[in-house]
Amino acid sequence: MNKHYRIDTNVIHTENKPDPDYGVVSTPIYPAVAYAFKDTDTASSVVSGEKNGIYYGRYGNPTNRRLERKVAQMEGGDDAIAVSSGMAAISISLLGVLQHGDHVLVTRDVYGGTFSFLSNLAPRFGIEYDYVDLTDIENIKGYIKENTKAVYIETPSNPRLTILDIDAIASICQYKNLKLIVDNTFMSPILQKPLKLGADIVVHSATKYINGHGDVLAGLVVGSKEEIKFMRKNIMGDLGQCLSAYDSYQILRGIKTLSIRMKKHCENAQKIAVYLEDHPMVESVYYPGLQSHKGHGLANKQMKDMGGIISFELKSNQYEEIGKDFIDSLRLAMISFSLGDPETLVQHPASMTHYSIPSKDLPKYGLSKSLIRLSVGLEDVDDIINDLAQAFKKIELKFNKVK
């Protein structure tokens, strides 16, 4: 990354080197499985790690390396690995720092896939975990055990957009010799850089904003050279979670427009959040760009902008299904589990992304059946607002009948 260039220039030019043989500007796709060596000693030194190189497709390829180096530089890390999904990135990051008998503290407001991994797979590995309200820094100290090895957070969180103080949490982790892992998916490296705030490892679902076009399933882990080397060889490679060369090429292409996409996502989301906050049928809006958001001040401190995700709750009273009915009434917004696409996407966390959380436990994790998550797209913002408005009218009629 050229330090003389600003981020908008670097997301285009970093690792975007013309092909040495033909001068091609686009990154070549190397769908290689096998790699040839001049002799057995060279092959042996690459396998052992004494020499840099790739010896088998399960551990990467040259297209992946372009993507990995680019994202590592964008995040301010030493190295990165590109893997087959966001959940692959999350699981690799956790398994990279935890082993049998270890304990991890996890932010209470967390993505449903992470919750599912911890509930279903962590116990099989003998890994213990506790969900903690990390908006209160003192809670970290109270929950640390002798076998605690890491703290795992999302900020902003999925789906309530809780903002956590990365710098303050990192300071405690460093003092207690704990690894701090931050899921930076909602922000992308454009809007937040956790490593510069003291985090050790950053994970992304590259399926979302980094790729940005809804046509690739991918994950990224960024950290120190030693950590990434261990994860590549002993976890990603052994579990077969490598990303394909074609998908890496797609993401490299998507990254070139990441800066301008994030600006539009943020601009649209801010206007929609203001609209929702003023609507009489809305109980609460969770968007850090609003002054009413508890983390507004902290967000301004550690984030460049507020992102493209809004969550909000409708005034449901006794009508539990109002969230689902509202979503079903939308015409422009598409019902989808994903986010970060050009299209506006909407989902019902309690029954979709966070379905693995039992209904009776939803309040414990700050969730309700009237909560809606909106991934604001790149459409004209007035069209998105008009779609919301017509859905509100339909729900108001049905809501009044139920009352």
Catalytic machinery residues: 58, 111, 183, 208
DSSP classification of residue 298: H
CA distance 59 to 68: 12
Phi, psi of 219 (to 5 degrees): -140, 160
Selection from 105, 111, 195, 210 nearest residue 150 by Cα: 105
CA distance 377 to 196: 28
Cβ neighbours around 148 below 10 Å, total? 21
The identity of residue 336, as a single letter, is S
Helix (H, G, I), strand (E, B) or coil at 242: strand
Whether 96 contacts 201, CB under 8 Å: yes
Helix (H, G, I), strand (E, B) or coil at 306: coil
CA distance 245 to 267: 33
DSSP string of 48-82, one letter each residue: HTSS----BGGG--HHHHHHHHHHHHHHT-SEEEE
Residue 109 CA, distance from chain mean position: 13
Cβ neighbours around 168 below 10 Å, total? 15
Selection from 22, 4, 55 nearest residue 13 by Cα: 4
Q: Which residues of 348-375 are buried (b: 16+ CB within 10 A; e: fewer)?
A: bbbebbbeebeeeebeebbbbbbbbbbb
Pairing status of strand 201-205 against strand 309-314 = unpaired
The identity of residue 184, as a single letter, is N
For the chain, the distance separating the N- and C-terminal CA atoms, rounded to the nearest angstrom, is 59
